[in-house]
Chain A
Amino acid sequence: MIGRISRTTAALLVFAVSVFPVYWMVLTAFKPTRDIQSATPTFLPIPITFDHFGTAVAAKGFFSFWRNSLLVAGGAVLLALLVALLAAFAIARLQWKGRRGFVLMVFIAQMTPWEALLIPIYVIARDTGMLDTLWILTLVYFMMTLPFTIVTLRGFLAAIPVDLEEAAQVDGCSRGQAFRKVVFPLLAPGLLATSLFGFITAWNEFAFANVLIIKDQDDRTLPVWLSSFNNTFGTDWGATMAASTLFMLPVLLIFIVLQGRVTTGIVGGAVKG
């Protein structure tokens, strides 16, 4: 009995600690400024206001930052999917010399400490005239998500029986047709899940967006804008938290869509390959 009570208490404590910061963010975003600034904070969303969201959305450049983030993350994911699908097919379905070396290379690339490459990529971007453009960010995010995409797609492909393809080929399909008509529809959910995780990586990235977009402030992405929100809005914490909430929203939606795959997919992808 005592064990059970202490377990329940511990569980509630873990839940409270993991949820509180996010709860506090959303709560602050909906609180009237008067309540945010009162000496005794309130812990329930009564009354609520949408003023802060209005302030955040009305901020200069909000929509272009939103669009930039979407463009960069979306572009990177599409490129990664296209390139990774080819490579994943070669690993999962074909037998060739150098396959093991290639897989090892992908695993090593996945562990790249990108933080150590800020300086050379800044220099390269400057030399090639890509500094302050969304192109360079798209390319960097493309490379960041590529290894993970290959590893995950290879896993999904390997789970689709080869027999299905063979049967299609016996029935007169070419190899390409067999892939398009049989494998691709089965692979679609895997493609979706993989691309959404890649999207989150690119959507959240800050370090490169901060270094590579300097002069042209209109080309900034949401994370950089959010980090400078304090400067933009002074001490308006309501608006800052509203902006954070809006920024987190797409990521949260993706996690909800993929709920089952979150634990198995990410854990499998990151740890076991």
Chain B
Amino acid sequence: MTLLAERPVRESAPAAPKRRKRPVLPYLLIAPTLLTTAYLLLYPLVRNVVISLQEFGLPQLVRGDARFVGLANYARVLADPEFWAVVRRTLWFTAINVVLIMVLSTLVALLLIRLGKWLRLLVMGGLVLTWATPVIAATTVFQWLFQSRLGVVNWALVALGFEEYRDYTWFADGEATFGILVALIVWQSIPFAALSLYAAMITVPQELYESARIDGAGAWRVFTTITFPLLRPMFGLITCLEVIWVVKAFVQIWVISQGGPGQATTTLPVYAFQVAQSLQRYDLGAAVSMLMVLLLVLALLAYFRQLYRQEREA
């Protein structure tokens, strides 16, 4: 499928000679999409910008007479050390997650290629099962796995001889909660990345591998000189997508910890929501979320550049 390349479209009806006027039909057909997008996507986005430029708290929400304050909300957010702590945490959270996702997915994809048919189907089946697990169900299960008294993880750790994990309360400790969230997101993200990479890897011609092996190249060398360079665009695309998904991960964090304990797991989307919902400062929340959008746009631009390049090469 192509994004930007023009696909030749043939005139379907026998071309009438007098057909010079601009056809209306296509515009009628896309009108519902345009209207929907304008009202349900563009308008909320513009509204978010407007709110972020207003003084908008609970009174304004009720009475509706918000006044413009220019960039005051942004100035306040950007001057707040807490905001920068959240930004640093978000970047750190994203980096850990994406590196783990990409490394592990690559390993799984390389493993899939080398497996026999039955084992491969088994592993792929497992991955699809993980993929099919709804975020909320997975989040609830992880809470149960890491439960302090009856959780199976603590039981296993104690059985392995780590006595200090008896009744250990994971969710009371900031770093432990952070670690569980990383585990959860990586676990959920691997199927998509691994299966996409696997699908790309099987397109690499076998002869290339064979000749490399005849030349005596080891597995690592084959990967760095053949697989990775050939699939660089695919790696780029998936990395961009994962960055975007991890930065805006909200549900897992909100349900497990609401950003706590303390602020240990408050990332940008969680912070924006906390500020808006708990403090009822919708203006500041909107400003934070606009700053997050800015961060995401950078990742998106990288993504579209990759996509465009790949389309051109394809």
Binding site for B on A (CB under 8 A): 7-8, 10-11, 14-19, 21-22, 24-25, 28, 36-37, 39-41, 82-84, 86-87, 89-90, 93-97, 99-100, 102-109, 111-124, 126-127, 139-140, 142-143, 146, 150, 155, 158, 162, 165-166, 169, 175, 200, 203-204, 206-207, 210-211, 223, 226-227, 229-230, 237, 240-241, 244-245, 247-248, 251-252, 254-255, 259, 262-264, 266-268, 270-273
Contact = CB atoms under 8 A, between A and B. Distances in A.
B12 A175 contact: yes
Secondary structure at the A interface, as helix, strand, loop or mixed, is: helix
Interface string B226-259: 0000000010011001001000101100110000
Contacts of A115: 248, 250, 269, 289, 292
A97 B21 CA distance: 12
10 contacts: A86-B30, A96-B23, A100-B4, A107-B3, A111-B300, A116-B272, A143-B41, A204-B136, A263-B124, A267-B196
Contacts of A248: 132-134, 137
A79 B176 CA distance: 43
A164 B136 CA distance: 45
A17 B133 contact: no
Nearest to A143: B40
B269 A116 contact: yes
A8 B7 CA distance: 45
Secondary structure at the B interface, as helix, strand, loop or mixed, is: helix
A15 B36 CA distance: 42
B64 A21 contact: no
Contacts of A158: 1, 7
Nearest to A87: B33
A84 B29 CA distance: 9
Most buried by A among B30, B150, B192: B30
Contacts of A102: 30
B132 A255 contact: yes
Interface string B148-191: 00101001000000000000000000000000000000010011
B123 A14 contact: yes
Given A83-B33, A120-B47, A150-B33, A207 B137 contact: no
Contacts of B237: 271
Contact of B3 (A103, A113, A122, A262): A103
Nearest to A106: B33
